[in-house]
Structure 1
Amino acid sequence: MSNRPDRYNANLPRNLTFRKSRQSYYWRNPVTGQEIPLGRISRREAVSQALEANNYIDENYIPSSLLLRLKEKPEFTFSLWLDRYAIILSRRELKPNTMKIRNNQLKTLCAEFGTKAIENITTREIAIFLDSYIESGKKNMAAALRSLLLDVFREAIVEGVIERNPAEPTRTPTPDVKRERMSLEQFTVIRSAAQSMSNWLANAMDIALLTGQRREDISKMTFDDIRDGRIFITQGKTGHMLAVPLSLTLNVVSLSLDQVVERCRAGNPSEFLIYSTVRKGGRKPGAVLPDAITSAFADARDKTALEFAQSPPSFHEIRSLASRLYAAEKGEEFAQRLLGHKNMSMTKKYLDSRGQEFDMV
């Protein structure tokens, strides 16, 4: 009996309902969703009124409402496009650290332009946004955000979302070069301080000077990478593969790579060249991570009496120093190959001493 259809609700016109608890009929407006009580009238009267109302809606509201919806141009917000752009970005197989930086930059862009329709974002709005960073002394950030905006809008053009790139007419901020280059004299002083702190830091500095490699690649070097008198390196940033001979010598410091490798072997129970047996700051004994190398170098640098006019050089500046020393001894092409650059223009940036060296006449 409980499954038998209620005779009041059986075969009722659409939008009409009978509420048994109130013994009343109700009609729901399909356009507004509003429910209208019809009162305690007969079933025949309720059906008649519902059919009349449904016909009225069909004839007067539904076609025009649907037509308006068809004519409407959907608003594609900048935030919505960034969701799509994130997928495009993930397909580029960028390094984790690069992706982390890009995601943070995209959050900044979304906070500024997220609610706006992407096609309505103007060059003026972008210029004002970038200028706020320039006025705050953050030219590097302004340049990075402009570069990302260019790519974001460029991909939107490719997929037919917009027709022009509003970021293109904006000025390219000239990044401030604040970090000083490191001279060989400064390297020697800092290395002396590093030697008094830990052997692994001095070894890491020597490997950086002799190979010109980045801290990430130095931290991953293992004794298994050494064979046939060479150390084989696959650069983490570019994927470029190098085979550097252990006989490589930098004459100006009278030091060869095989000498440093043998120092790394002494008392080292691990497979990694740069290994620490000391627990410090929560770090467990083992391979030294890139950030730990940077931090330890900064500590050693700050222990010296060296003074710097601008931002003091970081561990990465050893890479520039190595390129300049090798360029002087073996030529710029050798420096380019050692650093793993595809073109000389990038090597030239590392060869620029930024006023730290005299021009020999």
Structure 2
Amino acid sequence: MSNRPKRYDVNLPRNLTFRKAKQIYSWRNPITGQEISLGRIPRKDAIAQAIEANSYIEQNFVPSALLDRLKDNPEFTFSKWLERYEVIQARRNLKPTTIRIRTNQIQTLKAEFGRASISRISTREIAVFLETYIECGKRNMAVALRSLLLDIFREAVVEGLIEKNPVEPTRTPSPEVKRERLSLEQFIAIRQAASKMGSWLVNAMNIGLLTGQRREDITRMAFSDINSDRLFVTQSKTGHKLALPLSLELKAISLSLSGVIEACRVENDSDNLIYSSAKKGGRKPGAISPGWLTQAFAEARLQSGIEFGPNPPTFHEIRSLASRLYEVERDESFAQKLLGHKTMTMTKKYLDARGQEYVMV
């Protein structure tokens, strides 16, 4: 058996440790090295289970001779399979941001299941692992990790390493809705506050409401993207291509895309629609970055005097507001096309007002 790692609390039984960050107990199998989460349970229960497990190991473990161990075929570990899975994932042509997020998630899974045989990872172990994130208030992370685990084991089934996917029976955690929706009245009030900070912020908010695009795509829009009375947009996140007519308008706020674009030309000799000639906070005159757009919107939101909850709407919520306004003035399918969603399911998430609007009776 391997020696007890130094990180274990001397006041706990062998192989038992307490993770302060997650507030959970974990027991490490001294033979396989696999660490099993016991979840958030009382200290005395964790100690009792660890003593029982240690006793079982000591009574049933018979060390094999070195030659027998050399002859034995090693099991295909989860960590080994992840090396193959990363090759499969590389063929999917994912966006750099997605690859970065997946890489971090894979490292998290490797730390939890890496040394275990992929054929022996049970549904129970996965469920307990996901539950630790839910208990810590990281429900969205649990959703993301379950989705990734589901795909990892699905590919293992395809290649014949395992017969069934142990993730499928687990429940899909419901992601928490944290950010407040933005109403049209709140948008107008924040825009009024933004007018005192610079015309570029007002223009960015108006374009966001008219086009329903993400902040990254709004800050990349250029006058050279306009051709044949249309603004051509390639969404940076999805690669989805849109040709928006300059005649596009929202009657609810009396805005047209052509009018907003003309406003962007005022005191702007660059090709960028969203441009600031002012110096502020160390920022040089020029195109506006997505991060700076988010920061400026937050400042305008504060200056508006509106009292929001602990998770106030960000600039991205203008995208949801746009979809809801177009749903009323046009229909759901138009909102879906404008947002660039492949399915109506995703669009409906944006159309959900989360209790922000009244139901007309």
Letter in 2 for 1:191: R
Query: What does 1:266-281 align with in structure 2 at a 5 Å threshold?
Result: 266-281=266-281
Question: What is the deviation of 1:331?
Answer: 2.0
> Structure 2: how far apart are the matches of 1:77 and 1:291?
41
- CA-CA distance at 1:156 after TM superposition: 1.6
1:74 alignment partner in structure 2? 74
CA–CA distance in 2 between the matches of 1:345 and 1:319?
A: 16
Residues 1:98 and 1:279: Cα distance change in structure 2 (over 3 Å): farther
Query: Deviations along 1:85-138, whole A, 9 cap, x unmatched?
Result: 222212111111111111111111112112222222221111111111111111
Instruction: Give the equivalent residue in structure 2 for 1:236.
Output: 236
| Counterparts of residues 69-148 of structure 1 (less than 5 Å) | 69=70, 72-148=72-148
The equivalences for 1:247-258 within 5 A come to 247-258=247-258
Q: State the secondary structure of the residue aligned to 1:196.
A: coil
Shift in alpha-carbon separation, 1:68–1:354, aligned structure 2, 3 A:
closer
Matches within 5 A, 1:1-361: 69=70, 72-361=72-361
Deviates more, 1:112-121 or 1:90-99: 112-121
TM-aligned CA deviation for residue 68 of structure 1 = 7.4
**RMSD (Å), alpha carbons:** 1.9
**SS in structure 1 at match of 2:185:** helix
Deviation at 1:276, TM superposition (A): 2.5
Which sections of structure 1, spanning at least 5 residues, go unmatched?
Answer: 1-63
Between the aligned partners of 1:219 and 1:315, the Cα distance in structure 2 is 12
The CA deviation string for residues 51-100 of structure 1, in whole angstroms up to 9 with x for no partner, is xxxxxxxxxxxxx9989755x23222222222222222121111111111
Deviation at 1:193, TM superposition (A): 1.6
Amino acid at match of 1:156: A
| SS of the residue 1:200 aligns to | helix
Question: Counterpart of 1:336 in structure 2: which amino acid?
Answer: Q
Q: Percent identity?
A: 64
Distance in 2 between the 1:195 and 1:229 partners? Answer: 28
- For residues 280 and 101 of structure 1, the distance between their equivalents in structure 2, rounded to whole angstroms, comes to 32
What amino acid is the match of 2:157? I
Letter in 1 for 2:122: T
Q: 1:92 to 1:171 in 2, by over 3 A?
A: same
C-alpha offsets along residues 253-306 of structure 1, whole Å, 9 cap, x if unaligned? 111111111111111122111122344455443222222212221122122221
Q: Which AA in structure 2 matches 1:84?
A: R
CA drift of 1:242 comes to 1.2
Q: Partners of 2:278 and 2:185 in 1: how far apart?
A: 29
In 2: Cα distance, 1:345 partner to 1:173 partner: 17
TM-score when normalising by structure 1:
0.78
Aligned partners of 1:68 and 1:297: how far apart in 2?
Answer: 63
Q: Structure 2 CA distance, aligned partners of 1:283 and 1:120? A: 55
CA contact (8 A) 2:193 2:300 kept: yes
Maintained 8 Å contact 2:216/2:290: yes
Deviation at 1:247, TM superposition (A): 1.4
Residue by residue, what CA displacement relative to the aligned partner does 1:156-181 show, whole Å, maximum 9, x if unpaired? 22222222222111111111111111
Q: Which structure is larger by alpha-carbon Rg, 1 or 2?
A: 1
Structure 1 residue matching 2:174: 3-state secondary structure: coil
Equivalences, count: 297
Extract unaligned runs of 5+ from structure 2: 1-64
Residue type at the aligned position of 2:342: K
Shift of 1:341: 2.1
Amino acid at match of 2:238: T
